[in-house]
Structure 1
Amino acid sequence: MKKLHHLTSVKIIVGLILLFFIFQACKTEKKDAIKETDKEEVVEIITNAMDFQSIDTISSGWNTFKYINKSEETHFFLLEKYPVNKSINDGRVEVFPVFQNGMDLINEGKPEEALKEFGNLPEWYSEIVFSGGSGLVSPGETGITTLNMKPGYYVMECYVKMENGKFHSVMGMSKPIIVTNSESGNSEPSENFSISISSDQGITYDATKLPLKGVRSFEVTFIDQITHENFVGHDINLVRYDDNVDLKDLESWMNWADPKGLIAPAPQGITFLGGVNDMPAGSTAYFRVNLKPGNYALISEVPNTISKNMLKTFKITE
């Protein structure tokens, strides 16, 4: 009986060990399955200098863009949906030079002549649909933006200015992107914090539910869209800034039509972390960022952001 009892005990122990390993195997398989389904396909865009390195064709629907700025200057990317039968070659001949000539005249102190030059934009320019993109991204930073893309022909552009006043777009920072009729199958992201922006209310959100530190997803809804004094629509840019930064300097720098605006170098003590570029009224997009303790601002790339309520600040604490 004692021997039989011993054998029974051994069987029980062996059985428990087997159950333990089976449980761990199942647990591992489940963990791997979650990891597999959580994988996110992204459209990677890399800037090394005055360039966009990316694929040329993407699917329609929800797409997440990972913009990696490896250069020494601040950049963004804006996706412009061109009208039928127009291409980047038309833009480089009929659009980019007009803006550069106008900017040169502004720098020369000739605003009236600059305004006249902007009148030389082709009629089809008004048919371009500005369809989002990243906010400004500082050197060494990465911006992650998710957009719902419609099929069509797009031009990717950055028009931050070099120290000599030349737009990055005329220096090579533009390229075509084709969005096909094939759906990506990606789902709309979830959000941790919702923002709205409009021409009459500015940037609005629930100040009682500010995001906490860590990786957070921001939802941005464009209530309306207008063309501001500097010929662009409103957008959202996330900034982390040092305690000694004067936000009025940031406000001035965000206006490209100012000779000292949107030009290298960016203001000291400022780190741009992405956001969502211009989009049509009714659009919703997302951007994701790892929030560290510090001072933050949401700001639009338009003149007079403070009076338009398009410069809002908040803090992330430990």
Structure 2
Amino acid sequence: MIPLKNHCLHTINILPFYLFTILTLFGCSQRSDQTHTAEAQEIQEAISDPPGLVQVKAVGLTLEAPDEIPSGWTTFRLSNETDMVHFGYIYRVPEGKGVEDHKQLAAVFQNFMDDFNEKPRSAPDAGVEIPEWFSKVVINGGPGLISPRKIAETTVFVEPGTYLMECYIKTDGIFHSYNPAPDGYGMVHEFTVTEENNGVQAPMPTINISVSGETGLNVSGDITVGSHVVGVNFLDQKVHENFAGHDVHLVRLSEGTDLDEVEAWMDWTKPTGLQTPAPADFLGGTHEMPEGGTAYFHVDLEPGSYAWISEVPNAQEKGLLVPFEVADHVP
């Protein structure tokens, strides 16, 4: 649940109407009508969110999300309130590790990127050796690439533990997850998943995608106009040439979209890879998961041209880029 920001209130378990009334009448009269409206909306969201729904906001170069959530099937709703493409890559870290340790990791990857770009290293003291603990993280999917002012919803099962959610999109060659300020963080958020289970069941997919590093993307189900739940089953997992595993993202192709350019952009090791601005309109998806894992993402399809695509080099020749059309009528 989103914590209340109004320090004038104690915890009150009554209807949203009375909460708004109390906000209006007591202790906060100096605030503007706009502030009242924003806080009332936040309270309404906190009260009305169903179990298993976690609100995440991309604001500036930060990810805002709860610090603690129950375990179980969880839908991460990423609202991109910025003018750049973002995502929410989720992984469970070993015990005792967290966002402070990530600062060292982010510096190493930034140095990698600087080397690829033949630029001076941003963090010379960090070197390019990946910390040993990172080999023990468990990748857990997360909201896929989502364009500005859009919302991505991805459902995954989260076990108890400590997790990080990050966005490593680049701007001017700098990962959003990297922050050179010693007292600051990049676009990364730490959260704890508790032993308490939310009791939520997995959603029922209307479209199924089986993804494999050997056989590519295999799609089944009627892809029609309207709302869909896309189930993604990871038949296997492998590390590709860009040190990433295969995943699934949805991209809308306009008349002028160059699919080869989109494919090349998905490789972060290229100087222009995952660099803002994106070459097409992204509508969400899921990041990689271990072999046997399942994730779901929620999309609204309109008539037009689209593609399923994975964040790996040479996705088309691997069968990990699949264009498709959505007709403006049901046959």
TM over 0.5: yes
Q: Which amino acid aligns with 2:309?
A: I
CA contact (8 A) 2:52 2:73 kept: no
Q: Which amino acid aligns with 2:298?
A: R
Tell me the SS of whatever aligns to 1:315.
Answer: strand
User: Aligned partners of 2:62 and 2:301: how far apart in 1?
Assistant: 28
Alignment of 1:241-280 (within 5 A): 241-267=253-279, 270-280=280-290
1:84 paired to 2:95: yes
Alignment of 1:6-17 (within 5 A): none
1:315 paired to 2:315: no
Tell me the SS of whatever aligns to 1:210.
Answer: coil
User: Aligned partners of 1:223 and 1:312: how far apart in 2?
Assistant: 17
User: Aligned partners of 2:113 and 2:164: how far apart in 1?
Assistant: 21
Aligned to 2:36: none
Of Structure 1 and Structure 2, which has the larger fraction of its residues in helix? Answer: 1
Q: Which amino acid aligns with 1:77?
A: G
User: Aligned partners of 1:90 and 1:109: how far apart in 2?
Assistant: 25
Aligned to 1:23: none
> CA 1:40–1:178 in 2, change beyond 3 Å: closer, same or farther?
closer
1:96 paired to 2:106: yes
Aligned to 1:133: 142
Aligned to 2:243: 231
Tell me the SS of whatever aligns to 2:57.
Answer: strand
Determine which of 36, 42, 45 is the counterpart of 2:56.
45
1:169 paired to 2:177: yes
Write the deviation string for residues 257-288 of structure 1: whole angstroms up to 9, x where unpaired. 00110001111xx2101011111110011001
> CA 1:47–1:109 in 2, change beyond 3 Å: closer, same or farther?
closer
1:287 paired to 2:297: yes
Alignment of 1:194-213 (within 5 A): 194-206=208-220, 209-213=221-225
User: Aligned partners of 1:105 and 1:260: how far apart in 2?
Assistant: 14
Aligned to 1:189: 203
Write the deviation string for residues 289-309 of structure 1: whole angstroms up to 9, x where unpaired. 110111010000011101111
User: Aligned partners of 1:64 and 1:48: how far apart in 2?
Assistant: 19
Q: Which amino acid aligns with 1:242?
A: S
Aligned-residue Cα RMSD (Å) equals 1.8
Q: Which amino acid aligns with 1:272?
A: F
Write the deviation string for residues 114-162 of structure 1: whole angstroms up to 9, x where unpaired. xxx54x1111111011111011000011001111111110011000001
Shift of 1:210: 3.2
> CA 1:88–1:40 in 2, change beyond 3 Å: closer, same or farther?
closer
Aligned to 2:158: 149
TM-score, normalised to structure 1's length? 0.82
User: Aligned partners of 2:116 and 2:50: how far apart in 1?
Assistant: 48
Write the deviation string for residues 170-197 of structure 1: whole angstroms up to 9, x where unpaired. 1420010101111010111001010010
User: Aligned partners of 1:80 and 1:52: how far apart in 2?
Assistant: 15
Consecutive unaligned residues in structure 1, runs of 5 or more: 1-37, 111-116
1:221 paired to 2:230: no
User: Aligned partners of 2:110 and 2:119: how far apart in 1?
Assistant: 14
Write the deviation string for residues 25-47 of structure 1: whole angstroms up to 9, x where unpaired. xxxxxxxxxxxxx9665100011
Q: How many residues of Structure 1 are paired with residues of Structure 2 in the alignment?
A: 270
Aligned to 2:45: none
**Structure having the higher Rg:** 1
Tell me the SS of whatever aligns to 1:290.
Answer: strand
CA contact (8 A) 2:51 2:198 kept: no
Q: Which amino acid aligns with 1:82?
A: V
Tell me the SS of whatever aligns to 1:205.
Answer: strand
Shift of 1:88: 1.4
> CA 1:60–1:41 in 2, change beyond 3 Å: closer, same or farther?
closer
User: Aligned partners of 1:311 and 1:230: how far apart in 2?
Assistant: 16
User: Aligned partners of 2:63 and 2:119: how far apart in 1?
Assistant: 32
CA contact (8 A) 2:231 2:294 kept: yes
